[in-house]
Structures are given as structure tokens and as C-alpha cells.
Amino acid sequence: MSADIIVIIILCVMGFAAHGARKHPWMEWTLRVVYSFAFVAELWTAFVIFPNKTDVDASPWSTAVTATMAVFTGLMLFQPFRQGLSYALSVANNLINGQVLYALIKKLPVKEAFLVDRVFVPSSIPHLNGLWIYVTVLGSLLANINMDNFAAPSIGIPFPVPMDSLFSYNFLGLIILSAAGCGIFVARKPREVMVRLGLVKPEGWHYGVALLMIPLTFGYDWLWSYFTGSTGVGGKLSTYNAGTFTTGAAAANPASAAFLALATGVCAGVGEEVLMRGALQPVFGIIPAGILHGVLHGQFQHAPILILQVAGWSCIMGIVRKYTNTTTTIMAHATFNFLTTFLFAFNP
């Protein structure tokens, strides 16, 4: 069993416990003990372990990120901090999703629009648990980024793409994690979880929006290629993508290459959208979900410029999710992924 799957299982258990805490207070206090332990462990790592190490893991950047994680973990245990965070996240979300602008144009009460679309409930234990998971995952990934190297000397992913990883982690793993975070079988029935995640039947115009997002995404990537190309990332990324389909079974069998392209598009598109747009965005807003989405794509030797590119695109998809549903963004994301991987498969 891979480390990723083990982490997902642990996070699912915590998600169930957070929803169960509504009826069983001991679960809430158990989770608070876990958060407190994490706070102490992060402080110890930042101020005791790292100062005595000289390797790359103990760089000033990693130390600063770990210390920030510790401070945030400690503060989130207090209700006033979560209250302030709720207002800050809600203001940022209403600004980016256009709700404030709409209210001003229509001469509607801005405060009323803000309250209707508020994110992150300070008193919610599931939201508190989600916040800890978000901060821990984001901080752990950021601590490993080399901020001095935007050129990405190599691509840190094995190819061809492991099919078992696509299905077990990118697809099933992220979907199960999202469902557990929404309290499936504990606080919500499966159908209620589907609605909460935005997995609903799209209307006719939603298909048009999904189709429109495909050329817009190609255009977005084309504009970003001017930056990634100047740093050398674009060429290395193209070499990696082409190599994905010119080694192993995909090289010998066009059908295998097509299936790999389809699996990559569907698994990554569905899993990432369900987690980012379905589970996280309603809790933290468009920008935090987009940032985490970008950082999760730092696997390309943790190149910050690629993280910024994905995060920006993810925020655009977040706006689409706001006015449609997660099903629409899945269609756009999965189709774009399939087209790009298909092109690399047959025209590397």
C-alpha cells in the first residue's frame, strides 16, 4: 500500500470523526489533541530539528514554512481566530466570484450578499478539521518547494504514468476523501453528499460552458508558455509529456496510448474537480482551493512557475463552478486533459 493511500485513509477517518463529533463530544476532543500534537511537532521541527541540520530539507524557506504552519495550527484552535478567518475568506471569495460587483451594479445591500455567500463556519468541527488538513497538506508541500529554482532542472514524475496510481489515488482516492470530508453515511446520505459536492445533472447551457472552457484553457496555457518557455520549464514539460507515451506498453500499442490518455484525462479531471471544486471550495472559497490545486501540481520538480499557472487556471474554474456545478467543471477539465494527453500520445 502506497504512502498516498495510507494518508488518504487517515484523513478519511478524521473526516468521519469530525462529523461524528456532533453527537459524540469525545471525538471532537480527540481531534483537538491531534491538532495540539501537530502544533508541538511543527514547533519542534522548525526550532529544534531544522537548526541542527544542514541538508536541503532544513533550508531557511522550509524552516519558515514549518514555523508558519505551527503558528496557524495553534491559532486555529481558538474561536476568535476562526471567526476572523471566516470573514477574511468570505470577503476574498465574494470579490473574486463577482458577488460584490453584482451587488454594487444592482444597488443591492453588499452586506446581505456577503452573508448569503459566506464560507467557512467557525463553529463547525468538520470545517475546523478541514482547515487543519488544508494547512498541513499545503504547508508540507510548500516546505519542499525550491523557491530559488524556477527553471525546474528535471521532471520528478516516473513515466509511463502508473495506471494503478491514476485509479487508486487520482480517481478513487480523491473521491472517497471528498465524500468522507462531507460526512457520507455519518451526517449525510450518499445523495445528499452528491448534491453537496455539486455532482448534479447539468442543464443544457452547462454543456456549452464546458465546451467553451476547453479553447479558453488552451489559450491560457499558450499565454503562459511565454513565461515557462523563457525559464526552460516548457521544453522539459513537453519532453516529459512526450516521453510518457513513447516508453513501455504505450509505445508499442496505439490502443494502449489512447487508453492511457483517456485514463489520465478522466481520472485526474474527475478526482481533482470533486476535491477542489466540490469539497474544498464551498468551505474555503475559490482562492484557497486554487492555491492548493496549484501546489499539488508542484510535482514537476516543484517548479513555482507551474504552480502559479495551475493555481490561476484553477481559480478560473472555481468561478465557473460558482455559477454552474462541479459536473460542468469535470467535463471541461477531463476533456482538456484527454485532448492534451491524446495529442502527446500521437504527435509527441
Instruction: Reply yes or no: is the peptide bond before residue 160 cis, omega within 30 of 0.
Output: yes
On whether both 190 and 116 belong to a single domain, the answer is no
On whether both 106 and 238 belong to a single domain, the answer is no
Query: What per-residue confidence (pLDDT) applies to 249?
Result: 47
On whether both 239 and 340 belong to a single domain, the answer is yes
Query: What per-residue confidence (pLDDT) applies to 153?
Result: 41
Q: What total of structural domains would you count in the chain?
A: 2
On whether both 89 and 212 belong to a single domain, the answer is no
Query: What per-residue confidence (pLDDT) applies to 230?
Result: 57
Q: Which residues constitute the domain of residue 107?
A: 1-144
On whether both 69 and 199 belong to a single domain, the answer is no
Residue 61 one-letter amino acid: W
Residues 6 or more apart in contact with residue 213 via CB below 8 angstroms: 317, 320, 329, 332, 336
Domain boundary among 144, 163, 183: 144
Domain boundary among 83, 116, 144: 144
On whether both 176 and 301 belong to a single domain, the answer is yes
On whether both 64 and 10 belong to a single domain, the answer is yes
Residues 6 or more apart in contact with residue 275 via CB below 8 angstroms: 174, 175, 177, 178
Best CA proximity match to 264, nearest among 167, 168, 159, 155: 167
Query: What per-residue confidence (pLDDT) applies to 346?
Result: 61
Query: What cell was used for 11?
Result: 484523513
On whether both 261 and 135 belong to a single domain, the answer is no
> What confidence tens digit (pLDDT) does each residue in 117-160 have?
789 999 999 999 999 999 999 998 888 776 655 444 444 444 45
Whole-angstrom Cα distance, residue 82 to residue 59?
30
On whether both 135 and 196 belong to a single domain, the answer is no
Best CA proximity match to 294, nearest among 279, 284, 309, 277: 309
φ/ψ of 188, rounded to 5, equals: -135, 150
- pLDDT string in tens for the chain (348-residue length): 677 788 899 999 999 999 999 899 999 999 999 999 999 999 999 988 888 766 656 678 888 999 999 999 999 999 999 999 999 999 899 989 988 888 888 787 777 777 777 899 999 999 999 999 999 999 988 887 766 554 444 444 444 556 667 777 778 899 999 999 999 999 999 999 999 999 999 999 999 999 999 999 999 988 888 777 655 555 555 655 555 555 444 555 667 667 777 787 788 889 999 999 999 999 999 999 999 998 887 655 446 677 888 999 999 999 999 999 999 999 999 999 888 877 766 654
On whether both 217 and 261 belong to a single domain, the answer is yes
Angle of helix 125-142 versus helix 25-44 axis, rounded to 10:
20
On whether both 161 and 267 belong to a single domain, the answer is yes
On whether both 183 and 321 belong to a single domain, the answer is yes
Domain boundary among 101, 126, 144: 144
